[in-house]
Amino acid sequence: MKKKFLNLLKQPITNSYLSSINKSNTKNEYFYNLSVIFNTQNFLVSLSKPVDPKKQYTDKYAHRASQSFTMRQSFKSVANKLKSRFRPNFSMEIGSNDGVFLKNFKKNKIVAVEPCLNLAKITKKLGYKTYPNFWNRKLVNKILKEKSNFDLIYSANTISHIPNLKETFDAIYKSLNDNGVFVFEDPYMGSVIKMNSYDQFYDEHVHIFSLIAISNILKKSKLKVFDVELLQTHGGSTRFYVCKENAKYSINKSVKNLKSKELKQGLHKLSTYTKFASRVKKSKYELLELLKELKKKSKKVVSYGATYKSATIFNYCNIGNDLINYVLDSTKNKQGKFTPGKHILIKPSNNGIPEDVDYAFLGAWNFLKEIKKKEQKFLKRGGKFITHVPKIKIISL
């Protein structure tokens, strides 16, 4: 049975950064109701009504995975780790974005799948065979006609974006060699509960995975998890190592350990999610109280990182220009545009937080360490960060 436990109200498509604010732009902005459900049978947490992927993954896709030092390092290190552990002869990446993972492989040793045409162009230009398509049964048939089966398939922050998991994993099964390995990483439900990071729910995050849920789903496609890692990236992610049921890999201790941790955390119980939903309401109330108080004191507050996640916060809490002056971001193609739904101007963050800013709300809270390092000047002159994870608090030097 599917049980609705969280209602994050009317939300825009997070990738829809507006280039100007005028009547026709705002009139055409697409909104949908964002609510989240728990499947009591397989324990999967998903959005109740996913948005049409064709509206989301367009030729104007804004996010660049290579924007942060943290992620460049993380992709380099996972690429090296996978190459030395599995010695793949032929690999594939699903959702290759701007090629930050791909670049660590020789051009004839890997192919890419990327439905956003502006991104697919980047990796094509770099010399990598790139399929500018959505990952599905039809594409797999095409790839297998042209190429061979794969020893390694990697995917970061993509599988959780696909509504139809059965088709997705059946297609993975079909494309793997008998002892091939599928490694994928996505935000982790255990971390969302622990960090109260409700902003991980937005149109693109159709599912947030736990090990217990993913194991149940993979079984239906004759696949199994044989190893799992908890990662710091994106505020807490899981990296699942998957193979065919009859492949040579034996199941690592990590799988049993994480399963029992999840049962202790209650990721299989509806009550865990309803309690989480109450904490989300409290977080909204406290954030609004704080921002209103700062406004009363005439403090200048901006937001740091025009993240997709922060679209959920601003729209759910009804935070606009009245409470946040502008948003800073280092991504060139977001700069000069306006945030989805609440239409707050995005300015470049490249020269650091301007002198007259008192507080910066952390839209990119998942990069706190990197941002703190960059913004020492801001902190030293008394500037403060605001975060909502795991609860509303102010961070100073």
**Which residue, 62 or 323, has its beta carbon nearer to ligand DWN?**
62
Smaller CB distance to ligand DWN: residue 259 or 343? 343
Segment 9-48, which members bind ligand DWN (CB under 6 A)?
none
Residue of 45, 183, 306, 344 that binds ligand DWN (CB under 6 A): 306
Q: Is 370 in the site for ligand DWN (CB under 6 A)?
A: yes
- The least distance separating ligand DWN from the CB of residue 158, rounded to whole angstroms, comes to 8
How many C-beta neighbours within 10 Å does residue 25 have?
A: 14
Q: How far is the CB of 1 from ligand DWN (least distance, A)?
A: 28
Interaction with ligand DWN in 323-352: which residues (CB under 6 A)?
329-331, 334, 349
Of 191, 307, 339, 387, which lies in the binding site for ligand DWN, with binding defined by CB under 6 A? 307
SS (H, E, C) the chain: CEEEEEEEEEEECCCCCECCCCHHHHHCCCEEEEEEEEECCCCCEEECCCCCHHHHCCCCCCCCHHHCHHHHHHHHHHHHHHHHHHCCCCEEEECCCCCCCHHHCCCCCEEEECCCHHHHHHHHHCCCCEECCCCCHHHHHHHHHHCCCEEEEEEECCHHHCCCHHHHHHHHHHHEEEEEEEEEEEEEHHHHHHHCCHHHCCCCCCEEECHHHHHHHHHCCCEEEEEEEEECHHHCEEEEEEEECCCCCCCCHHHHHHHHHHHHHCCCCHHHHHHHHHHHHHHHHHHHHHHHHHHHCCCCEEEECCCHHHHHHHHHHCCCCCCCCCEEECCHHHCCCECCCCCCEEEECCCCCCCCCCEEEECCHHHHHHHHHHCHHHHHCCCEEEECCCCCEEECC
Query: Smallest distance, Å, CB 371 to ligand DWN?
Result: 5
Q: By CB under 6 A, is residue 234 in contact with ligand DWN? A: yes
Burial of 369 (0-12, 13-18, 19+ CB in 10 A): exposed
- The strand pair at 327-329 and 150-156 is best described as unpaired
Decide if residue 67 touches ligand DWN (CB under 6 A): yes
Task: Please identify which residue in 374, 384, 390, 395 interacts with ligand DWN, judged by CB under 6 A.
Answer: 374
The reply to whether 114 sits near ligand DWN by the rule CB under 6 A is: no
Residue 305: CB minimum distance to ligand DWN, A: 3
Interface pick for ligand DWN out of 204, 240, 340, 386 (rule CB under 6 A): 204
- Write each residue from 138 to 167 as x if it is in contact with ligand DWN (CB under 6 A), else as -, in one continuous string: -------------------x----------
The residue nearest ligand DWN at its CB is 305
Between 266 and 354, CB nearer to ligand DWN:
354
- Contact region with ligand DWN (CB under 6 A), list: 62-70, 251-259, 273-281, 376-384: 62-70
Give whole-number Cα distances, 17 to 63, 74, 212, in Å: 11, 27, 35
Give the residue, chosen from 88, 115, 305, 341, that forms a contact with ligand DWN under the rule CB under 6 A. 305
Q: Is 238 in the site for ligand DWN (CB under 6 A)?
A: no
Q: Which is nearer to ligand DWN, 243 or 306 (CB)?
A: 306
* List 63, 103, 239, 284, residue binding ligand DWN (CB under 6 A): 63
Query: Closest separation between CB of residue 229 and ligand DWN, Å?
Result: 17
Total residues contacting ligand DWN by CB under 6 A comes to: 22
Task: Give me the least distance between CB of 282 and ligand DWN, in Å please.
Answer: 22
Q: Going edge to edge, which strands form the sheet with 45-47?
A: 2-12, 31-39, 45-47, 207-208
Residue 57 beta carbon to ligand DWN: minimum distance, rounded to whole angstroms: 10
Interface positions with ligand DWN (CB under 6 A): 63, 67-68, 157, 204, 234, 305-309, 329-331, 334, 349, 364, 366-367, 370-371, 374
